[in-house]
Amino acid sequence: MRYEYKKLFSSKLMWFVLLLTFAYMVFLPLREVWGNMGEMHQSAKTYETVIENVKLGGLTHSELSQMRNEIFQNGLGENSENYKPKYSKSAVGDLVAIERASRLMSYCEGGFEQDRRELVKGMLWQNAAESRKQTPDSYLIKANEKAIELYNRRIDLKLQSTGLSNDIHYAIFNYSMWEYVMIALCVLMTVRLFSCEYSSGAYRTVNTSKKTVQSLFFKKYLAVISVAVCVLTVQAIFELVMGACVFGLKNLSLPIQQIQMYEYCPYAISIAQFYLFKFLLKVLAYVTIISLCAFVTTLVRRPLVSNIILLPVSAGGLLASMVLFVKIDNAEKYSLSALSAYDRLRIFLPQSLLNFKEYIKKFDCFSLLGHPVSRLSACIFISFAISALCVALGYKFSGRTRRSS
């Protein structure tokens, strides 16, 4: 495949888009935290110090509340000049860290279990009420039974810091603008490599043999995928480094429910597994896009026409999901039609896999012939099917020869 890499990066446009991809990967997260890195890192350290003090000193909720009231009375009022911070450089730093530690203690020592218990009770009550109806909804009953089975698993939370607060919302890990650039990179790389012979006129020699053309198909396909996977690997490493350096990301072996925004995640996975699944699903999403691009380019054979077709189609799926998600997320009462459209997109569009967290924040199923099926599983299956179909068709159409006159 060495010659395929040479052909791929013999274009200045490819180098420009690749550099632009890395530039966006670095610039967008740094823009959010630039100038506040020291403050964020200090805040994370202060928070961890309070947690350690709580565990070593055996502090209770009431004692933390007394510390908080003392800061309000003496640290933020007229006597603030005489207040000596205990954990950080300021009374505000102490207050924020104590508030976070208090919330974590409440969440780990009872709040999490109580919320899950109430959720299961609600499902049991709903099933009992549905069973009493003359025509009960069998899908609803089965879905609730599956959810109850998942939510009844024991999750052992720890009074430990993951380095990330709810206020961050994984902001640095979800930049859709970078995904658009990455989609453009995948499309342009695929079109470039699969149409190179036609744009240069070399097809007159290469395409005289069906066997030669089809043997080159998989070399080109694997060359594009390998470059895309390398870029995604660099981006995943950068995310983890940013998380560790800026937000103190740590304790990746803890369950994902340790982070309160994933309280209702029904799956027993760790934070490390969350990042691994996220990476693998991103790879699958881009492999599907590359497979589609390979098929269309092999069929059309003209680079300009292929780009005109593929760039809007590939980016449009992500844009549609984003528009509906923002509309639903910001609306006080979102419409059922918008929610239904968004859920359908998450099943049929591989681009939806780029936002893995939306699949696991709660029990997420749909009805297939009356049986509950995970939207995530369905999207993975459909993405694999699209990839296999596009590769098979692309391989078949690549065998068409065009003999020179």
- Record the tokens describing residue 27, joined without a space: 């610039």
Is residue 404 predicted with pLDDT exceeding 80?
Answer: no
The residues that bridge with 368 in the sheet, in sequence order, are 371
What is the reported pLDDT for 317? 84
pLDDT digits (tens, 9 = 90+) for 223-233: 999 999 999 99
pLDDT of residue 403: 44
Burial class (CB in 10 A: 0-12, 13-18, 19+), 398: buried
Cα–Cα distance, 129 to 146 (Å, whole number): 17
Residue with tokens 């639903």: 328
- Give yes or no for a contact between 148 and 117, defined as CB atoms under 8 angstroms apart: no
Nearest-CA neighbor of 254 among 107, 121, 145? 107
pLDDT at 122: 94
Q: For residue range 311-331, what is the model confidence (pLDDT) as tens digits?
A: 999 988 888 887 777 777 666
Chain-centroid distance, C-alpha 331: 22
Q: How far from 35 is each of 39, 97, 398, CA to CA, in Å? A: 8, 21, 53
Number of Cβ atoms within 10 Å of the Cβ of 375: 17
Confidence of residue 165 (pLDDT cuts 50, 70, 90): low
Range from 185-189, 297-301, 388-392 carrying the lowest mean pLDDT: 297-301
Tell me: pLDDT of 136 over 70: yes
Residue 174 has pLDDT above 80, yes or no: no
- What's the whole-model pTM score? 0.86
Take residue 297 and report the two structure tokens written for it.
Answer: 């380019």
- Average pLDDT over the chain, rounded to whole? 83
Q: How far, in Å, CA of 343 to CA of 359, rounded?
A: 10
pLDDT single digits (tens) 61-98:
788 888 888 777 776 666 566 677 777 777 778 888 88
Helix axes 375-398, 210-247, angle to 10 degrees: 150
Rounded average pLDDT over 21-27: 87
Q: How far is CA 30 from CA 172, 241, 246, in A?
A: 8, 12, 10
Q: How many CA atoms lie within 13 A of 342 on its CB side?
A: 19
Task: Give the whole-angstrom CA distance, residue 24 versus residue 231.
Answer: 12
